[in-house]
Amino acid sequence: MLDNSFMEWGLNCGRLFGIRIKLHWAFVLFILFAMVRAQDKQFEAVYLIVLFVSVLLHELGHCLAARHFGQNPDKILLWPLGGLAYVGGAKDAREDFWVAFFGPFVQLVIGGVVGAVLYFQGASFHFNLDILRPLAVEMPLEQITGTFRDWLLPLIFGVQVWLFAFNVFLPAYPLDGGRMLVAATLGRLGAMKASGMAMILSLVCGVYLMARRDMENGSICALFLLCEAAMLYQYRITGMIFQHPAFSHSSRPLYSSKARKTAAKPSRSKQVPHLRLVDSKQCPQCGRSLPTTAKMCGFCEISV
């Protein structure tokens, strides 16, 4: 985990829905660096604005979902690796799953609306064999006029696709895909196996991002995931994983249902009760009382 003092370096940008919005100073430096090296300043400025608003709405999705479950979201921090929503700890895996889900769900809604507008404008969509850019949009040539509106909607759509794919299709912890996977399997696997799975997937995803050369900040994101994998390893070997907020509530899994109330089955052990006494007589084997017509009691008859 990063030091809290470092994460507090930033600029307060007010409140939205009662949630404090904070812009980290490193994000400001990232914006300035991106603008300096960009050849098309207008496109880069619009891209950064779209990315900023999309990430903010993504984190608001987490916060509003957490508020629905009775949690009290504190703030949203925007920094070069995206956004961090301080929503507090979930009570169980079910809450953790839905809080993680409603971030990418915002991208589904925005991307669906923008994609529908592009479709009715005559755009075509193509699937790619790229886990981070699985869907691309192409406008018809006759509608391209070289103006600002030609690439604004495709840009918004592309940002939503990329954010959704990055957060969901990379099952690394603490990305949303990794959090949802942990929440869905925690009840069955338990804290140790689920954390081991999350550690390995974070390591694999970090190596994958490190190997990509076409992604801005890919190396920084890869280093972040590798550090998270190392942290999970440290939690596991020290036994602290059972106190980790994401792995400490395995008692109620995502797929949990009401416990079935089944009557306890009666014991089928064979028991032979003594005969009811009619006259006083003793069993020659064990001395128990039995009727005068019986030669020995029922227990001794079975054992003979």
Q: What is the pTM of this model?
A: 0.75
Domain assignment present for 265: no
Quote the pLDDT of residue 215: 72
Q: What is the pLDDT of residue 72?
A: 82
Region 51-80 average pLDDT: 88
In a domain, 157, yes or no: no
The answer, yes or no, to whether residue 144 has pLDDT greater than 60, is yes
3-state percent helix, strand, coil for the chain, nearest multiple of 5: 55, 10, 35
Higher pLDDT, 294 or 160: 160
Residue 228 structural domain = 171-252
Per-residue pLDDT at 262 exceeds 50: no
Give the pairing type, strands 75-79 and 10-16.
Answer: unpaired
Does residue 51 fall inside a structural domain? no
Within a domain: residue 97? Answer: no
Asked whether residue 200 is domain-assigned, the answer is: yes
Give the C-alpha distances (Å, rounded to integers) separating 173 from 243, 267, 269, 287: 16, 48, 52, 73
Q: Above pLDDT 90, what percent of the chain?
A: 35
Is 215 within the bounds of a domain?
yes
Classify residue 210: in a domain, yes or no. yes
Percent of the chain with pLDDT over 70: 74
Task: Provide the domain count of the chain.
Answer: 1
Q: What is the pLDDT of residues 209-241, one digit of tens each?
A: 988 877 766 778 888 899 999 999 999 998 888
In a domain, 152, yes or no: no
* Average of per-residue pLDDT values in the chain: 80
